[in-house]
Structure 1
């Protein structure tokens, strides 16, 4: 797929040694930009080959997130792992926020994941209304009460650093995250690599 990326939000491949690291960015309006500095530091300190893909719908325009599914992001992670396995003997997966959730799901499905690091990966949400979202979503009059977009406030200091991301994301991303957390609860026991 040919995507027109926002400058700075493009995927990043840093060639290195036979150890690889798949980096998965978060989904709250950020892009691959969020982890680029980390990718360069990781490579400079370890010599690892680093692949930082742009998850489907990110790095272009927020409208591209409409229609994206959890399986799209899992496929991005699967493809990223396969890309690194073609050139590396061992692959580590690191994920931030939604990327951490995707990394956990990937490790539950693929024994080739050598080790896993996640930070700020949501494993659950404390909101009694959350179970009602699927019902609300199916009733048009109630669905209209839910805003279509969620603003992602970005502090000025981050913008001054050159942050590249979205000022808003579709609220449907919340459904993807809910589905991912639900799927992960069933999959956690299948993760065999060091975490």
Structure 2
């Protein structure tokens, strides 16, 4: 199976997914990791980007993959993955800590806050203190860019029932970024006849960079192998 891997908001395009790309390649999957617009350069580049730009890049990369193909997304990437799975032939959808609802109480006030607070520090997404020091993501982001993530969040619930591919949704048990109720809501709204749910209790939002990074990567690999074998 050919897999598109999508990172999250303010995430490093490659490093945020930790050992997952390597584990999947070793298992025989083809892996493609595009950089979504505004990422992998500097935080200010996010100011020139709309959520439709993220989706367009994801769509283009996905359409280039031969079938059978699947999509794996982390956080914001899991929202984009749902849009792809809803509109294109998809054999598997893996949503890691999908950002359907944010925990930060000030997130809905982003339009107002942008006038007074030009930038926010990067989220507290890794629980292990030593691993946190190696966080490859943006250390901050322009407050105004949060509006684009919120817009994508509002448009995702309507596409989830259209997803019919087998799906795996993963919750990070110590997530301080997204609300677990939103992760469960993402799973509940999926139209997939076969959908599974896993919780990794010791990790924060960036679970592939935290205590459960190896276990999480292996669980995704094993689920995809089982799903791929079922197709064959």
Same-fold call, TM > 0.5?
A: yes
| Aligned position for 1:157 | 130
The residue aligned with 1:167 is 139
- The 5-angstrom pairing of residues 32-181 of structure 1 reads 32-35=14-17, 37-45=19-27, 47-85=28-66, 89-110=67-88, 112-125=89-102, 136=112, 143-145=114-116, 147-152=117-122, 157-158=130-131, 161=134, 163-181=135-153
Mark the runs of 5 or more structure 1 residues left unpaired by the alignment: 1-18, 137-141
The alpha carbon displacement at 1:179 in A equals 0.9
Q: 1:151 to 1:51 in 2, by over 3 A?
A: same
Distance 2:132 2:102 in 1: 28
Contact 1:26–1:96 at 8 Å: present in 2 too?
A: yes
Task: Specify whether residues 57 and 115 from structure 1 end up closer, same or farther in structure 2 by C-alpha distance, changes over 3 A only.
Answer: same
Q: Does 1:22 align with 2:1?
A: no
Alpha-carbon deviation of 1:44? 0.2
Distance 1:175 1:39, change over 3 A: same
Contact 2:7 2:75 in 1 (8 A): yes
Q: Taking structure 2 as the reference length, what is the TM-score of the superposition?
A: 0.62
Matched residue of 1:144: which SS?
Answer: helix
**Pairing 1:182–2:154 present:** yes
> Deviation of residue 157 (structure 1)?
2.5
Distance in structure 2 (CA, Å) of the matches to 1:128 and 1:151: 15
Other structure's SS at 2:155 match: helix
- 1:155-193 residue CA offsets vs partner (Å, 9 max, x unmatched): 7623655x4331111122321221111111221221121
Counterparts of 2:42 and 2:100 in 1: how far apart (Å)? 27
Contact in 2 for aligned 1:21/1:50 (Cα 8 Å): yes
Residues 9, 149 of structure 2: 8 Å contact kept: no
Q: RMSD of aligned C-alpha atoms?
A: 2.5
- Alpha-carbon distance in 2 for matches of 1:28, 1:173: 10
Rounded to whole Å, the distance in 2 between the matches of 1:76 and 1:183 is: 17
Instruction: Kindly tell me the number of residue pairs found equivalent between the two proteins.
Output: 164
Change (3 A) 1:66 1:41: same
**Stretch moving more, 23-32 or 52-61:** 23-32
